[in-house]
């Protein structure tokens, strides 16, 4: 752990010598060039990076939890192939990137948004109940409900993310098979297909398939039979 922290500190000192290239956050892919040989910094003005999604084998990534910056470098296996990433910030902003590895010095990319950051009130669930915290939780629950509605009503042609590390879920004779992942308003939205190979009617409940890190779940049906199916919608941050 100590060596890892020193690695990030060195990267911060090195990259701070060069001025960051700014990119306006918008609802389309931002294209930029990064160094193939060196570490490249990604930061968000006035915010912190919470997660970076992409193909694991395409890049190495390190996060500085204190500053909220991320440092990435293409892998040898990826070579000079452009890397697709989805960056999510602590306040819920998202931005898709397409980074082209090239020979040269390290790059420093700063994402800038014209809109104020959305308030992330999820930590309030761990605080004592007060009027102020209770109002924050109500706002957060309202946001989650709105995102779930968008997720359920996504158009069929909506492009999904390349999400790795998501496993199928099981409960008794029921199986929830992962189908696709999406990014909506800062939430990671996972879609599963629930089926059974056993005869009979099976009552469904979201709690049967809840997992670590889940914020909200919704099922398209309350029961299924053999050769039937239901859709399970899962929200995460």
Average pLDDT over every residue of 136-142 = 65
DSSP assignment string, 109-123: EEEE-SSPPPP--GG
Q: Where are the domains of the chain?
A: 2-112, 122-152, 169-236
DSSP bridge pairs for 101: 34
Pairing mode of beta strands 59-64, 69-74: antiparallel
Percentage of residues of the chain with pLDDT beyond 90: 35
Confidence of residue 119 (pLDDT cuts 50, 70, 90): very low
Find out if CATH 3.40.50.2300 is the number for domain 2-112.
no
Q: What is the pLDDT of residue 111?
A: 92
Q: In what order do the strands lie in the sheet with 187-196?
A: 169-171, 174-184, 187-196, 230-236, 216-219
Q: What is the pLDDT of residue 136?
A: 44
DSSP 58: G
Q: What is the pLDDT of residue 178?
A: 94
Q: What is the pLDDT of residue 165?
A: 80
Question: What does the pLDDT look like over 71-91, one tens digit per residue?
Answer: 999 999 999 999 999 888 877
The rounded mean pLDDT for the chain is 80
Pairing mode of beta strands 40-44, 94-102: unpaired
Q: Which two tokens stand for residue 184?
A: 């909506």
Q: Which two tokens stand for residue 13?
A: 């000192």
The position carrying tokens 């010598």 is 17
């Amino acid at each position: 752990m100590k060596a890892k922290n020193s690695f990030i500190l060195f990267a911060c000192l090195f990259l701070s010598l060069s001025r960051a290239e700014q990119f306006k956050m918008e609802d389309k892919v931002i294209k930029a060039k990064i160094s193939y040989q060196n570490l490249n910094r990604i930061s968000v003005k006035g915010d912190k990076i919470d997660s970076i999604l992409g193909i694991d084998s395409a890049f190495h990534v390190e996060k500085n939890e204190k500053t909220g910056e991320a440092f990435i470098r293409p892998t040898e296996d990826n070579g000079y192939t452009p890397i697709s990433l989805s960056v999510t910030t602590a306040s819920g902003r998202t931005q898709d990137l397409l980074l082209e590895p090239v020979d040269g010095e390290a790059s420093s990319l700063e994402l800038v948004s014209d809109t104020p950051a959305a308030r992330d009130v999820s930590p309030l669930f761990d605080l004592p109940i007060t009027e102020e915290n209770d109002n924050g939780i109500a706002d957060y629950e309202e946001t989650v409900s709105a995102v779930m509605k968008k997720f359920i009503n996504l158009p069929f042609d909506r492009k999904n993310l390349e999400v790795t590390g998501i496993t199928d879920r099981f409960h008794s004779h029921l199986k929830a098979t992962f189908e696709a992942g999406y990014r909506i308003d800062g939430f990671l939205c996972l879609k599963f297909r629930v089926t059974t190979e056993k005869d009979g009617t099976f009552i469904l409940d979201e709690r049967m398939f809840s997992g670590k890190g889940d914020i909200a779940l919704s099922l398209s049906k309350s029961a299924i039979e053999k050769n039937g199916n239901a859709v399970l919608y899962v929200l995460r941050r």
